Every structure is written in structure tokens, then in C-alpha cells.
Amino acid sequence: MMLGFMEAIDICLKQKTFVIRGRAQRSEFWWFFLAQQIVIYVISITFSIFTIFFSLLNLNEDDMELGLILIVVILCLIFLTLIIPAVTSGVRRLHDINCSGWWILLALIPYLGSIALLIMLAIPGTKGDNRFGPDPLADENKNQDNKINDYNQQEPLNQEVQINTINNHAQDLKKY
């Protein structure tokens, strides 16, 4: 089952904040990634607005420094709040593609490491169980397999029924 935006945030921030075992489906990781990016952009814009506001007030340097220090402390707290679930959800996502969580350290390599890691995180997970646990999409995969099997097991319509169906549609079209 594909997770929604709020479900992914709930899982990453509340249920599995410190959990690196198991697997995370793509929707869980990417919805949480989007939420992080939104928070980061909002904070950056807020920081810029406050910086401009403080500079326009013509405050003395001590008051301006105090305000900027307060903003930086708030930014650091939010960063520390988001970094742990970001790393753990990334590790669980790597587990879903049957890779060790240590691959998350690719992000420390400038440019190419981050690009390689993003590509790895976008790869669909392995179907079925792997060494890190059961498939988080197991129920969804079973439902799709059942639909395909049901369709394949249907008996084909005989030729007479097909002709009658076509004639009925043709008569309906003639009415218009």
C-alpha cells in the first residue's frame, strides 16, 4: 500500500524515528524527504526575512546579534530534529533495495556521492523478503498478482457473444 504524505511523516517522525531495522517503501521515504525540503525552505525564507528586518530596524549591534543568534539556535534545533529520522528512513530505504545502510555515507562525497545515493534511493525495492525483512508492499503485490491471475483464468468470450455485444454498441451509436 502506498503511503500518503501525513502517514509517511507520522512513521518517520513518531513511529520509527530511531529504527534502522527493516525496510521502507519509496513512498514513505520520498514523502518524508519532501516534508523536510518544505521545512528547510520555509526556515530559510524566514531567516532571510528576519535578517532583512533586523537590518532595517537600525538596531544596535548587540540587539541585532542577539536576534540572529536566537534564529540560528532555532535553525540548529530543527536541523537536529530532522537529521535523525532522515538518516534512519534513508537506511531503511537502502534496506528495501537489499543494500547495507552504510551506503548512506555516500552522501558525504561531494556531488557524485549525493547523486549516486539519490539514484539508489529511487530504485524500486526487491520483491518479497530480503535479508533485511519482509517486503513492505507484500499485500499490494499479492493483490496485483491475484488480479492478473483472475484475469488470466477467465474464459474467453465465445464468438457469438462478442458479435452480439458489437451489434448492441452499433445500435446504440445509431440512435445518436
pLDDT digits (tens, 9 = 90+) for 54-65: 777 776 777 777
What pLDDT was estimated at residue 170?
67
pLDDT confidence bin for 117, thresholds 50/70/90: very high
Question: What SS3 class is residue 60?
Answer: coil
Predicted confidence (pLDDT) at residue 151 exceeds the cutoff of 50 = no
Write out the three cell numbers for 9: 511523516
Cα→Cα distances 6→29, 50, 76, Å? 12, 29, 24
Q: What is the pLDDT of residue 141?
A: 55
Q: What is the pLDDT of residues 30-53, one digit of tens each?
A: 999 999 999 989 888 988 887 787
pLDDT per position as a tens digit, 165-175:
666 666 766 66
Asked if pLDDT for residue 84 goes beyond 60, the answer is yes
Give the mean pLDDT of the chain: 82
| pLDDT over threshold 70, residue 19 | yes
Distance CA 105, CA 114 (A): 9
Least confident of 95-104, 134-143, 161-170: 161-170
